[in-house]
Amino acid sequence: MLPTLRNRALAKIYVIPLFFTTTAMMTWAIGVLYALDLGADILQVNLITTIWSVMGIVLLIPFGILSDRLGRKPMLLYPRVINLAATLIRALATNPTHLLLAAFIGGFAGAGFFPILVAMIADIAQPHEQKEAVGVLFLFSSIGMLIGPLVGSFLLTTPYATLRTLYQIDVVAQGATLLYILTQVTETKPPTPHPTSPRDHAGFRSILTDLRHQPGFLGLLLMSFCFSLFFAIMSTYIPIYGRVDLQLSDAEVSSFSTLRSLGVLLIRFASTTLLAAVPIPRFLLAALVLGGVTGFLAPLATTFPAILGINVLYGVSFGATMILGNTLVTLTSTPKNRGTANSTYNAAQSAGNILKMATSPLAETLGLTAVFLVGGVAALLAAIPVLLQRGKDALTKR
């Protein structure tokens, strides 16, 4: 089972998201609470959680192009340095302005490094291994997503830890992850052959043109945009709903991420088998519809167990959609444009996260119920490109 774990080069990459997400998700689980404790209002909370996406949408594609040209490792190290600086500011923050500054600085990381990791995995894995390799990468990420909030929730039940303590732990852990990447990970991008035709000199415009004409790629971008809006709404407003409407404790709200990560872990573990048995489009449609249903059910969750159930369900939807979408991008890209393709896909996610800002006045005037319903509709809209592509594929096979 999972034979790619025996590949030493792949295994070294698999542990990077495990290290990073364990502590990053520990602080992400309490990020909204931390901002509220420092005096942030709903608009500031949305700004804090959206600035990195605004900057990421500008930087993600250039970063992907640079990874295709300069190599993966430099573009893997750079975001880690920037994120370390941003997390240090959060650990020392005393008001919402400091958190806004941290979000702005963190934005120069290009909204994360997962596109580069996916490209590195695809560089190393054999064609018949790529589905499993991407799945295992996200599986290791899911393990960290589960462990991090679980440890954070436990620490918050002790008299020795505060929300700030978790950020201090994250600073140390991110420094260790940076050191690991620097010393243990080697470059994976195949050497670029000497250009033999004018088209080889065309640069990034040629790469983007090729991607635009790739069957289904634009549909993947639209799906990524709509689903990211759904996930951004759920991840931002469910903690607020738990703290303000349900009057839950910090440890209880932090446990939301634990249950959501459990849902992510379960579906990603199952997907290593399901990807070989179920067509990806059908699997993806089910995940998107589940997300839409979860958004509609969220306002009905008025007890602690019910809201935990909501977190599990949208964790399953998120976990499946992320792995399936990235797998499709990997399968439709080539070594020449793989970094650009993954970065463009993630830029669409950032755009969806940015649109979440428009829900701030809606939340203040109509309440959180209206916002959750918008999230449910966004998840269902994400299914439309997948349905259209399935229809085209069916016609092609006739």
Q: What is the mean pLDDT of residues 295-316?
A: 92
Residue 370 lies in a domain: yes
Q: Is residue 208 part of a domain?
A: no
Domain-embedded: residue 65:
yes
For 106-121, write each residue's pLDDT tens digit. Answer: 877 765 677 788 788 8
- For residue 234, the domain's CATH number is 1.20.1250.20
Handedness of CA 117, 118, 123, 127 (dihedral sign): positive
> 319-375 pLDDT, tens per residue?
888 888 878 887 777 666 666 777 778 778 878 888 888 888 888 888 899 999 999
- Taking residues 60-75, report their average pLDDT: 76
Q: Note whether residue 307 is domain-resident.
A: yes
Asked if the structure places residue 196 within a domain, the reply is no
Residue span of the structural domain in which 69 resides: 3-187+214-392
When divided into structural domains, the chain yields a total of: 1
What pTM, to 2 d.p., does this model score?
Answer: 0.67
CA distance 272 to 182: 29
Higher pLDDT residue, 394 or 172? 172
Alpha-carbon distance of 227 to 208, in angstroms, equals 23
pLDDT in the model for residue 395: 33
pLDDT at 270 over 60: yes
